[in-house]
Amino acid sequence: MDNNKEIVLSGIRSTGNLHLGNYFGALRNFVKMQDDYDCRFFIADLHALTTNPDPDELHANVKNIVTEYLAAGIDPEKATIFVQSDVPEISELYLLLNMHVGIGELMRTTSFKDKARKALGLKNDNTADEDDDKIEQQIIGADSNKRVNAGLLTYPTLMAVDILIQKAHKVPVGKDQEQHLELTRRFARRFNSFYHTDLFPEPTNYNFGAAAVKVPGLDGSGKMGKSEGNCLYLIDDEKVLRKKVMRAMTDEGPKEPNSPVSLPVQNLFTLMELTSKPEVVRNFKDAYANCSIRYGDLKKQLAEDILAITLPIRERILELRNDDAYIGRVLREGGERARYYAAQTLREAKEIMGIRKFY
């Protein structure tokens, strides 16, 4: 790994198989960046713990994600691939950084409010600010069956530490992670200014100059996500994937030329823009504008174009997933490298904060 290259860090939680949201929001960029940057990609198993997964599932999912990283084209000769919990320095710096993080700013984080609502069994009707007091009261008053765990609250601290401990400059993530990155920059700035140091660079999201990606679901709702249950997975076989696409929600079709596009149909176009050739997208958009569009044809084309991306990855996943020796070697070597950098930053941070030995 070349020391003069800018450092890139990103991770995905080990909560299930990877889907097209992960692919276009994150993984595709991981692969594209590995030649030009000092890339470090990890599996966020500690973050996965914040939602208290079944231990065997968590364990299996770490292997799923690393296999899918490799199958998608991350090359361990070029990039460092590691498991978050293999770097205990992260947990130590997380404790230290929390001393400079406000409970209030964590409670105002959108992802926290969503997950707290879920943990309390409240309706998830997007974050009206007047709700904040109510949520806060419910969190404080919740009985132990419905508690909101402190790990959920401090999720952004842990994510900031993942990034700062590697002194990363660029963090390729999807749009949903931008608030976490904003907090990371704020924590870095605060630490640097409190201790009069320049230890931590302020990282930015990176998508090759384009805006961050948000891949929609095909059920007419917002984003594609594991907890939304609307994912097209990289591991889906041809039949399953075609079926999911053909079942995508649409509407009755345009009745007049140049009609506005409804959300479910816009979602199909958005996915198509990510997967299909520009002229294909244009043809279907023109067909929509002059009312000749047939959604069945659009879905068939979309399924083909998605499969052209996912099937080769699926094949490599199936090839790789039984090669425990190879996967083990990748993670051991990656873990060692990640730890080496992390230990150095942790040493510096402790020294700066006054945790110094005189004995």
The answer to whether 9 contacts ligand TRP (rule: CB under 6 A) is yes
Question: 224-233 — which CB contacts under 8 Å span 24+ positions?
Answer: 224/19, 224/20, 224/21, 225/19, 225/21, 226/15, 226/16, 226/19, 227/118, 231/19, 231/20, 231/21, 232/19, 232/20, 232/306, 232/310, 233/17, 233/18, 233/19, 233/20
CB of 3 to ligand TRP, least distance (A): 21
Choosing from 7, 8, 9, 15, the residue that interacts with ligand ADP (CB under 6 A) is 15
Choosing from 68, 162, 236, 305, the residue that interacts with ligand TRP (CB under 6 A) is 162
The answer to whether 167 contacts ligand TRP (rule: CB under 6 A) is no
- Residue 348 CA to residue 345 CA, distance in Å, equals 5
Shortest CA distance to 24 belongs to which of 165, 214, 193? 214
DSSP assignment of 125-174: ----TTHHHHHHHHHHH--GGG---HHHHTHHHHHHHHHHTTT-SEE---
Site map (CB under 6 A) of ligand ADP, residues 172-201, x = contact: -xxxxx------------------------
Site for ligand TRP in 29-88 (CB under 6 A): 44, 47
Which helix (H) or strand (E) covers residue 7, if one does?
strand 7-13
Applying CB under 6 A, the site for ligand TRP has a residue count of: 14
Site map (CB under 6 A) of ligand TRP, residues 198-237, x = contact: ----------------------------------------
Nearer to ligand TRP, 52 or 290 (CB): 52
The answer to whether 13 contacts ligand ADP (rule: CB under 6 A) is yes
The one-letter amino acid at 179: Q
| Segment lying near ligand ADP (by CB under 6 A), choices 51-59, 128-136, 198-206, 219-227 | 219-227
Kindly list the catalytic residues. 115, 223, 226
The binding site for ligand TRP (CB under 6 A) comprises 9-13, 44, 47, 159, 162-163, 171, 173, 177, 180
